[in-house]
């Protein structure tokens, strides 16, 4: 019987489906696996279902001689050495599409909680400090009618921008590729990167991590932004230089920030933890019951297809098809 190893407990019932035809092992603890544990458990698997914190590098791939498919339960796949997996004729799959709207909702949750100081307000009240309405109490900044800037107008960026209509906002964006469809449908205006920084009141990062986006936001960029602006990141942590962001927030170079992802996740820059004008949440972009269940279903389906000799639906490395696929 072929072995499927899953590095975390998944929601829903799809894992039961897998058990009908395969020997399934699941890492049972609610914490990321250590490197040693992962190397040991994945060793003789034909398929692994991985999370984005599992490093699937050359060494791991090399140690899994029977591996046919790496099914990442995420849309991002930067935790996997895709060129090497392709060279070893291993399918790599992801779970695109299903988390778009959920992540866009979360970007808006951050926009609103930073601009209206919701987290601060909640702590203030629980700490027994609410003694009555005061004209100067926890003043935020307006959202409606402002300019929303999107960095990375892919699926998630477009979904964030679409929601801006209800807030009567203007939408500008900067992306590696022009999104003409988005420009037409949501009346988003393409701008160059300096103008994105200069004109945005709310700048939301939804870009994936690549050579262009890595470290793109640092002190020089923050200095070009409005002092009243809010920066939100639901893309990838390494796009922002966290130490420099802490400095910019402390010095009032920008007004506030909301982060879901971190430069050295799960570590969070200490300077950020001390600040009140930032909302920090633990990578919850796709974290709803419906979406995480759907992601698990897709990750499982990709494994079933691959192990039964078919091409999985969400193939990230189609070049593997050109190679002589393992069966």
Catalytic entry in 46, 174, 236, 292:
236
Angle at 82 between CA 38 and CA 323, to 5 degrees: 115
**83 in Cβ contact with 57 (< 8 Å):** no
Q: Which of 56, 74, 110, 159 binds ligand DGY (CB under 6 A)?
A: 74
Q: Does 75 bind ligand DGY (CB under 6 A)?
A: yes
Q: Does 76 bind ligand DGY (CB under 6 A)?
A: yes
Longest dimension (CA), the chain: 72
The yes-or-no answer on residue 46 being catalytic is: no
Compute the least distance from the CB of residue 32 to ligand DGY, in Å: 14
3-state secondary structure labels for all residues of 29-51: CCCCCCHHHHHHHHCCCCEEEEC
Decide whether 99 or 245 has the Cβ nearer to ligand DGY: 99
- Distance of alpha carbon 299 from the chain centroid: 17
- Beta carbons within 8 Å of 80's beta carbon, 6+ residues apart: 50, 56, 70, 72, 92
Q: Beta 202-205 vs 278-280: how paired, if at all?
A: unpaired
Decide whether 100 or 175 has the Cβ nearer to ligand DGY: 100
Decide whether 99 or 196 has the Cβ nearer to ligand DGY: 99
Q: Which of 154, 157, 258, 285 binds ligand DGY (CB under 6 A)?
A: 285
Q: Is 54 helix (H, G, I), strand (E, B) or coil?
A: coil
The yes-or-no answer on residue 236 being catalytic is: yes
Q: Candidates 14-22, 71-79, 147-155, 220-228 — which segment interacts with ligand DGY by CB under 6 A?
A: 71-79
Q: Read off φ and ψ for residue 56, nearest 5 degrees.
A: -105, 85
Q: Which of 56, 67, 99, 230 binds ligand DGY (CB under 6 A)?
A: 99
Tell me, by CB under 6 A, how many residues bind ligand DGY. Answer: 7
Residues in contact with ligand DGY by CB under 6 A are 52, 74-76, 99, 285-286
Give the active site residues: 236, 265, 283
């Amino acid at each position: 019987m072929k072995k499927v190893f899953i590095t975390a407990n998944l929601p829903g019932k799809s894992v039961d489906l897998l058990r009908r035809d395969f020997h399934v092992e699941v890492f049972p603890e609610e914490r990321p696996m250590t490197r040693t544990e992962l190397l040991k458990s994945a060793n003789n698997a034909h398929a692994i279902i991985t999370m984005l914190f599992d490093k699937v590098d050359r060494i791991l791939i090399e140690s899994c001689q029977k591996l046919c498919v790496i099914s990442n339960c995420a849309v991002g796949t930067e935790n996997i050495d895709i060129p090497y997996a392709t060279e070893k004729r291993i399918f790599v799959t992801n779970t695109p599409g299903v988390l778009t709207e959920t992540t866009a909702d979360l970007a808006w949750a951050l926009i609103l909680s930073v601009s209206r100081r919701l987290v601060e307000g909640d702590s203030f009240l629980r700490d027994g400090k609410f003694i009555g309405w005061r004209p100067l109490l926890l003043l935020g900044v307006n959202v409606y009618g402002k300019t929303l800037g999107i960095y990375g107008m892919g699926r998630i960026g477009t979904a964030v921008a679409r929601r801006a209509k209800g807030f009567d906002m203007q939408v500008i964006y900067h992306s590696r590729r022009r999104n003409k469809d988005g420009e037409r449908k949501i009346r988003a205006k393409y701008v160059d990167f300096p103008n994105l920084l200069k004109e945005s009141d709310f700048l939301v990062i939804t870009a994936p991590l690549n050579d262009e986006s890595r470290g793109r936001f640092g002190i020089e960029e923050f200095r070009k932004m409005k002092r009243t602006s809010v920066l939100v990141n639901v893309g990838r942590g390494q796009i922002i230089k966290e130490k420099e962001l802490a400095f910019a927030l402390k010095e009032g170079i920008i007004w506030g920030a909301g982060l879901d992802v971190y430069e050295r996740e799960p570590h969070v820059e200490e300077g950020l933890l001390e600040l009140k004008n930032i909302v920090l949440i633990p990578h919850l972009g796709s974290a709803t019951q419906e979406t995480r269940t759907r992601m698990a279903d897709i990750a499982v389906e990709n494994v079933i297809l691959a192990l039964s000799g078919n091409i999985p639906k969400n193939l990230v490395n189609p070049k593997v098809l050109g190679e002589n696929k393992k069966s």
